[in-house]
Amino acid sequence: MVKDIATPNRTKEILQKHGFTFKKSLGQNFLIDTNILNRIVDHAELTPETGAIEIGPGIGALTEQIAKRAKKVVAFEIDQRLLPILKETMEPYPHVNVIHQDVLKADVHDVISKEFEGISDLMVVANLPYYVTTPILMKLLEEKIPVRGMVVMLQKEVADRIAAKPGTKEYGSLSIAIQYYTEAETVMIVPKTVFNPQPNVDSAVIRLIRRSEPAVHVVDEDFFFKVVRASFGQRRKTILNNLTNNLPKGKENKQQIEQALSAASVDPKRRGETLSIKEFGLLSDELLKSMR
């Protein structure tokens, strides 16, 4: 019978055996609570036909629980010192492959085509390193990685921003960027006490299920995101002010911006945080027409 990795004693034993020390720069915080790991995996709804991608497996605590339910697991690990540990802890799971690579630099499409041949249901399940959470999520979404969705643990504050609704102080360009591609919901809060070492903040698990179509259809996706970012340039300013100050050639096109706001039925005195994704979509299309 294989003992679970995610208990305080077993984790300590593994780390001591390999003389492993945590690197703050890599945001390493290992989970030491099997119940929480199981709940994370529950939310991913894996089946014996599912392929799973993990990012930052650490010593394999979450990897092990994913491996018990998925057909195949591929884990990206950046820290070379963890490779011999993972080789040992993953020995009972021959369908786990650890790739020593920074996921931000990896060709994930290529990895999927080689590693998951014949597997059509793919999920990302990960306890993401907090210092690179947003770049990792955006890479996977923007590169249109063919997954059903992602169940990831991240800093609670970032999870709040991702799942935020219009009109709240958490709602911003990150909320829109991720909700444009996925349906986002926070599924559990994780206290800092279940980690070794303990982080300074609480964590949350967020589930992102990929939409079959983006939340709104726009003429130019890049321009849509430029408009969104510009609208949140200074949160206290009105949308007219932000667009004029933050869009390229905004100041010389102030009149056209006013016309576009009017055509999209958006009051120029509103703030960016009050606009829904659909309103941003309509506004970006009108701006594209009037600023050409």
Residue 160 assigned to a binding site: no
Q: Is 27 annotated as a binding residue?
A: no
CB distance 112 to 137 below 8 Å: no
Known binder of ligand: residue 127? Answer: yes
Separation CA 227–CA 40 (nearest Å)? 35
Does the annotation flag 77 for ligand binding? Answer: yes
Q: Annotation-wise, does 246 bind a ligand? A: no
At 223, list the tokens: 């321009």
255 phi, psi to nearest 5 deg = -65, -45
- DSSP H helical ranges for the chain: 8-17, 34-44, 61-67, 83-89, 108-115, 133-142, 156-162, 173-181, 221-231, 239-246, 254-263, 277-291
Find out whether 133 and 154 touch, Cβ atoms under 8 Å: yes
Cα(first)–Cα(last) distance of the chain, in Å? 67
Q: How far apart are CA 146 and CA 117, in angstroms?
A: 13
Radius of gyration of the chain (CA): 21
Other Cβ atoms closer than 10 A to 118: 8
Tokens standing for 52?
A: 């799973």
Binding positions are 29, 31, 56, 77, 102, 127
Annotated binding-site positions for S-adenosyl-L-methionine: 29, 31, 56, 77, 102, 127
